[in-house]
Chain A
Amino acid sequence: METNKEMRAQVTTMAVIHTVMYRRILVTLGIALFLAFSVLGGIFGGHASRFVASAHAVTSAERVIDEVGVLSSEDKASLNAQIQTVTSKYGQDVVLLYADLNGKEPVERADDFYDQGGYGLGPNKSGILLLIAPNSRDWWISTAGDSIKVFSDRAISNIGRAVVEPLSESDWAGGGRVFIEETQRYFQAARDGAAVPGSTPGPFERFFQWAGALVAGIVGGGGVTAAVVDGGMKAKMRNLDRAPDVTSNFLSQSTQMAAVTSMVLSHNYMRVPYVDPSENDFSTTHTSGGGVTHGGGGGKF
């Protein structure tokens, strides 16, 4: 009996030992596979298309940083969740920074925070950051990597106009939400290869749009009407006093023309902004203190 018990105990011990060994092997294999995929991901991740959305693993770092305490924890969580959706879908980072300038220019503050915080996705560290400084009422958008091309100067200006509206009413979370929505629209447009959508015009823009339409309509419509009806049709009704040109009365064989003498009277140079026709829009860039190329723009609210 005892022998049987000992034998069963030995078998059980052996089974436990085997089970532990199998687990260790599996764990080791899992770690090895994880490491292998991590390395491969690091190598081949760089070949991802610039604007192609891929389910990038977003680092767990906070994307909404509130250094001045203007956001509630609910707003912060909600904004973070919104950003998570965008970054996962488009593979470019979105960061919201509520902070003071700490004696820096808005551009330096935003660029440095982005560079030093290790933000940006993909090999080019692509992403966009909005700095909101509630105390000095500054805003600045900093772009990096592939996001520089996505957010042209005009796009940044459009987004700025959109976010200024809630920010000027101290709606800090609202400004953040508008920013994330706008970045999503531009990411989508870039992915579709479509024209970058304009921002919703405000009353000022609307006034100029309609004023332009009215003036151009009256001047253009009136001009064409005057040219066709009055200059063409009406002028045809009266053909008095039109002495024909008598150039044909000159005898060409008798015509003698000396060489043209010419003298330069003046040289004038004019410089006008040039837009490459192949580009619809362009992004101006600068280099941050950390030596990283950024695009961006900003203003007051």
Chain B
Amino acid sequence: MVNAQYKCPSCSAPIEFEPSSGLMACQWCLSKFPVAEVEQFNRKLQEATGGGVGDAPTWLEAEVGVAEGTAAQSEVIDDFTGMESLVCNSCGAQIVADPTEISMRCGFCNNTFVAHTRIESTAVPDAIIPFAIDKNGMLAAFDAATKGKWLLPGPFKDRRILAEATGAYLPYWFHDGEVSGTVTMEASDRKSWIEGREEVIETTTYQLSRDASSQFRAIPVCGTTKLDPIRAAGVEPFNVADSTDFGSAYLSGYAAHTFDIQKEETIAQADKRAKEAFVEMVRGSVREFGNVTVTGANLTVKRTGIWYLLLPVWLIVIAYEGVNYPFAVNGQTGEVIGEFPISRKRLKAFRLAFFIPFMLIFGWLGYMLMSVLVA
């Protein structure tokens, strides 16, 4: 397929994926269709028109006679950032797109299109986890995340502004493999008994080692630099069991990026996470001894597969009191990742509220303890 703007099989208006129903929903005729049906309809439409589907945008070069556009054929308008220019055939506006974008909205007519040519020129995702929460669901998740945050400024709930909200599919590399090797640990056991007016405490320290192996599945590492690493890791976990075969129609209505971090570059990070979890697993398996601490591990990772998934993330910016607070919201679970504003007044008040009574309690205990010691 070429670049496509998905059309409603009923009225041919733009149609988008609706998370709440898991169907493609037309905002014009209110029809809803399964994803596969919309894809099939649009494929036929494409074949009938002999190229791009309907109002699908084309790369700028296509206008001047270059056949079906690809990322490589597009006009690079900024050598430094690699930004490329496309033309929306729906309204004729020029869209400046990052070369990793595979689904985007026209900033003028708000129609979305999917750049199949870019998908095919890089890699087709092995699977996709579709959005499970829409914009309203995301806002509800954000509200829920503010609950129990006592240091949030009082007016935050009323005065905050949702400055930006982009539902985006982000590329992640998922690693399968097996960790094996030896974990060395130290443990100690403590026994005590009474001899006259003395308590004798015997501490025995052991060196332990355990050989072990275990297979792991689907350890994720973010494949894009568009989401900073601290948010990329925080927005996990995703439930891979809910993934489905990739269909580009899922991207309709959302931004999507292909990877700009190659899978080989994510191996070290995946191995690190796998080894850390494996070591913890082995340490936790030692129940015969107390106070087990890991002193070393000689581990190898045998990789059995790396696969490419697109995962749903809401990227939002909340403006409050002139400051922008960026958040990432897991589009599957509603987990909110970010840094909330802190009310300095509340922080001071809570510090005082805890410090004064506990200072008195501990002060009294200290006084009593010293009274016994100096007595």
Binding site for B on A (CB under 8 A): 154, 157-158, 198-199, 201, 204-205, 208-222, 224-225, 228-229, 233-234, 236-247, 249-251, 254-274, 282
Please measure, in the bound complex, the distance between the C-alpha atom of A245 and the C-alpha atom of B214, giving whole angstroms: 16
Contact of A251 with B216 in the complex, beta carbons under 8 Å = yes
B214 contacts A256, CB within 8 Å? yes
| Contact A244 B237, CB 8 Å, known A198-B371, A220-B361, A229-B347 | yes
By a CB distance below 8 angstroms, the chain A residues around B152 are: 237
Q: Mark B216-243, 1 if CB is under 8 A from A, else 0.
A: 1111000000000111011011000000
- Given A218-B359, A225-B358: A267 touches B213 (CB 8 Å cut-off): no
Contact present for A271 and B236 (CB under 8 Å): no
Q: Show 5 residue pairs from A and B whose CB-CB distance is below 8 angstroms, ordered by the A residue.
A: A204-B374, A208-B370, A224-B355, A240-B231, A274-B196
Does B135 lie at the interface of the complex (its beta carbon under 8 Å from any beta carbon of A)?
A: no
Question: Which of A213, A246, A247, A272: most chain B Cβ within 10 A?
Answer: A246
Q: Which residues of B contact A274 (CB under 8 A)?
A: 194, 196-199
Which residues of B have CB within 8 Å of A254? 178, 213-215
A107 CA to B373 CA, complexed, in Å: 25
**Complex contacts, B289 vs chain A, CB 8 Å:** 260, 262
Q: Which residues of B contact A239 (CB under 8 A)?
A: 234, 336-338
Q: Could you say which of B13-21, B80-88, B158-166, B270-278 contacts chain A?
A: B270-278
- In the complex, A271→B193 CA distance in Å? 10
Q: How far is the CA of A102 from the CA of B319 in the complex (A)?
A: 92
Report the minimal beta-carbon distance from B334 to chain A, rounded to whole angstroms. Answer: 13
Q: Chain B residues near A260: list those with CB within 8 A.
A: 208-210, 286, 288-289
B340 adjacent to chain A (CB < 8 Å) = yes
Q: Name the residue among B149, B179, B337, B355 with the largest chain A CB count within 10 angstroms.
A: B355
Number of A-B contacts (CB under 8 A): 228
Complex CA gap A193/B306 in Å reads 76
Q: Report yes or no: B213 in contact with A229, Cβ–Cβ below 8 A.
A: no
B56 to A: closest C-beta gap in Å:
38
Contact of B358 among A221, A245, A266, A271 (CB under 8 A): A221
A217 near B198: Cβ-Cβ < 8 Å: no
Q: How far is the CA of A214 from the CA of B231 in the complex (A)?
A: 43
Q: Does the CB pair B206–A213 fall under 8 Å?
A: no
Give the docked Cα–Cα distance between A221 and B196 (Å).
38
Bound CA span A83–B359, Å: 46
Beyond A234-B151, A250-B179, A274-B199, 19 additional contacts (C-beta under 8 Å) are A158-B375, A205-B374, A213-B366, A213-B370, A218-B359, A220-B358, A220-B365, A224-B354, A224-B362, A236-B149, A237-B340, A237-B341, A238-B340, A240-B231, A243-B234, A254-B214, A255-B212, A268-B205, A272-B198
Closest to B279 in A: A247
| Interface residues of chain A: helix, strand, loop or mixed (majority) | mixed
A249 touching B219, Cβ below 8 Å = yes
Residues in B whose Cβ lies below 8 Å from that of A250: 179, 214-216, 277-278, 281
Given A224-B358, A234-B342; A265-B206 close (CB under 8 Å): yes
Q: Is the CB of A262 within 8 A of B371?
A: no
Q: Identify B197's interface contact among A218, A249, A273, CB under 8 A.
A: A273
Please indicate the chain A residues that have their CB under 8 angstroms from the CB of B230 in the complex.
Answer: 240-241
- Asked whether, in the complex, the Cβ of B339 is within 8 Å of the Cβ of A240, the reply is yes
**B369 proximity list for chain A (CB < 8 A):** 212, 216
**Cα distance A220–B355 when bound, in Å?**
9
Q: Point out which of B198, B234, B365, B374 has the most chain A C-beta atoms below 10 A from its C-beta.
A: B374
When each residue 175-213 of chain B gets 1 if its CB lies under 8 Å from chain A and 0 otherwise, what string results?
A: 000110000001100000011111111111111111111
Residue on A with the closest CB to B280?
A247
Q: Which residues of A contact B204 (CB under 8 A)?
A: 264, 266-268
A255 to B212, CA, bound (A): 7
Q: Would you give the shortest CB distance from A266 to chain B, in whole angstroms?
A: 5
- List, in ascending order, chain B residues with CB within 8 A of A217's CB: 359-360, 362-363, 366
Which residue of B is nearest A259, CB measured? B210
Contact yes or no, B219 A220, CB < 8 A = no
Chain B residue at minimal CB-CB distance from A218: B359
Complex Cα spacing A27 to B366, Å: 69
Please report the C-alpha to C-alpha distance between residue A210 and residue B218 in the assembled complex, in whole angstroms.
Answer: 59
Do A255 and B213 touch (CB < 8 A)?
yes
| Whole-angstrom distance between the Cβ of B316 and the nearest chain A Cβ | 15
Contact among B148, B151, B201, B206 with A270 in the assembled complex (CB-CB below 8 Å): B201
The answer to whether B361 and A273 have CB atoms under 8 Å apart is no
Contact A264 B233 (CB under 8 A): no
| Closest partner residue, chain B, to A210 (CB atom) | B367
A56 CB, min distance to chain B CBs, angstroms: 31
CA distance A273 to B197 in the complex (A): 6
Judge whether A255 and B362 touch: CB under 8 Å: no
Closest chain A CB from B170 CB (angstroms): 15
Residue of B nearest to A206 (CB): B374
- Name the B residues within 8 Å of A261 (CB-CB): 208-210
Q: Assess whether B367 is in contact with A242, with CB atoms less than 8 Å apart.
A: no
Q: Which residues does chain B contribute within 8 Å of A249, judged by CB atoms?
A: 216-219, 274, 277
B273 to A: closest C-beta gap in Å: 5
**Cβ of A221 and Cβ of B367 under 8 Å apart?**
no
Q: Tell me whether A256 and B205 are in contact (CB under 8 A).
A: no
Q: Residue B150 at the A interface, CB < 8 A?
A: yes
